[in-house]
Structure 1
């Protein structure tokens, strides 16, 4: 049990008062564990094309396949066990969401604090570029960048970062700008302390709370955006069954009664995104008491 006298202990004590947020956090942790240990909990490796049989394709939930095990959620058009594909798809979605979120956070925070600290032409140049990026829908930017870079995890993460870093930059800039004019920053600058230490010890810690809130939202947005791109055929290669691709694979069969191919991956995607957003909402409320109901 966390010590309630510490900041983390007080944060957790307040967090667990919201049962919905606690359940959402438990769901996120469970899905992350399933994704992390997908190779151990999945009845089939959906990447191993040699062990897939087209005779098992598009089979309903409960079907016993040629491998001798029951496909609890059915199979997709390639004959992959849908439950296994969902576990591996969760791994891909979470990996890309976290990677894109961390890189966007690092890049956006650096640019935002740099603009607020240096000011002048540097501030104008950075923030006008950020404003220009924010004027375009994220999905449009991601589509253009993925179309230019091609398919692959690195390209997809790069597209998501380019589409989302500006949200972190704007948040970091607003928080750092408010702190930059305060007396304690001026006092720190009047000492022999270097500007880098002033940023790391004073500006950055005070910018962290709002950035954490934005990070939780943007990770969920990254997962949603990746699924959208994969659904449109611009995400990962067909050999990597992301959730968006699984939904796309089953879409042509929706009207023929084979609903499970798209339905179950879609449910997994919705649960993951909603759970992350619920956790993010609670974190936002705790960092900003004025938003509490």
Structure 2
């Protein structure tokens, strides 16, 4: 781990991206203590503070650093809580999709035969559809809510993990250490869990990092279209959508600041994932 960290730290851009991710995650976790307002408390919102520019002193007696939106929410507070939702949706959906995809991919590689054919043809069919289209259909069918949104995100992403796990597990299955383990009286489950899975995890972690960013982007897209979370729990995508109609009237801060937060978060996670990919892929190492 020390050698891995030293190599990672050599890339200053990736190190800065990791720092940005850590700061954003810390700010999201500390939102209840950092944010001057609870944007989900509708009774605490004052419409007299609606659409106020950055620096405005509201009725609550504190300065709205980034201004307010059309409902009178403090944008700084709303962005912090929106980051919580975006990270929560991305991490939960990414973890569930990785678990399901890894299970299916390793099962297909280990079982072979008709099981492999059936699983991988379903995965190939899944990959042929755009993720946003599948997510839109599922959200329209299942309705709004965190659970429904996670199901839609998992269904749109598990195939990427399944394809990655299948390729890595197929390569590992033909190696000598797996054949040696199979020659001993070890169960198939023990061979998979103790020998194959640990060597399949590095590419899955890299794909997982990228897919977390994709899940955050997909959730923001669905929320922007009004198909994400309920309006009482505004995510970054919904905050951007709330200010879209005021862009031409000069109240650009309502959409711009949540958009900047979303872009910075996605770019930082992708940069971290790119560095992890470079370090775990021998062909890309210097």
Distance 1:269 1:183 in 2: 46
Q: Does 1:172 align with 2:168?
A: no
Question: What's the counterpart of residue 54 of structure 1?
Answer: 47
CA–CA distance in structure 1, aligned partners of residues 282 and 180 of structure 2? 29
Counterpart CA distance in 2 for 1:237 and 1:208 is: 35
In structure 2, what is the equivalent of residue 115 of structure 1?
108
**Structure 2: runs of 5+ lacking an equivalent:** none
1:28, distance to aligned residue in structure 2 (A): 0.2
Distance in 2 (alpha carbons) for counterparts of 1:122 and 1:43: 55
Deviations 1:198-218 (A, max 9, x none): 001111111111111100000
Aligned to 2:66: 73
Query: What are the within-5 Å matches in structure 2 for residues 80-229 of structure 1?
Result: 80-229=73-222
Q: Which residue number corresponds to residue 9 of structure 1?
A: 2
TM-score by length of 1: 0.96
- Mapped to 2, the partners of 1:182 and 1:70 lie a distance apart of 63
Match of 1:272 in 2: 265
Shift of 1:290: 2.3
Provide the secondary structure at the position in 2 that maps to 1:35.
helix
User: What is the rounded CA distance, in whole Å, between the counterparts of 1:12 and 1:56 in structure 2?
Assistant: 47
Q: Where does residue 285 of structure 1 map in the other structure?
A: 278
2:233 is aligned with 1:240? yes
Moved over 4 A (4+): none
Distance 2:114 2:248 in 1: 57
Counterpart CA distance in 2 for 1:279 and 1:26 is 10
Counterpart of 1:3 in structure 2 is none
Distance 1:251 1:11 in 2: 44
Distance 1:224 1:263 in 2: 16
User: Residue 4 of structure 1 aligns with which residue?
Assistant: none
CA distance in 2, matches of 1:125, 1:290: 31
Equivalent residues, number: 286
Structure 1: gaps spanning 5 or more residues: 1-7
Residues of 1 paired with 2:214 and 2:144: CA distance?
A: 19
Which of 11, 14, 21 is 1:21 aligned to? 14
Q: CA deviation at 1:292?
A: 4.5
SS in 1 for 2:114: helix
User: Counterpart in 2 of 1:260?
Assistant: 253
In structure 2, what is the Cα distance between the partners aligned to 1:153 and 1:189? 43
In structure 2, distance between residues paired with 1:72 and 1:266: 16
Aligned-partner Cα distance in 1 for 2:70–2:198: 50
Residues 204-213 or 106-115, more deviating: 204-213
Q: Distance in 2 between matches of 1:245 and 1:209?
A: 34
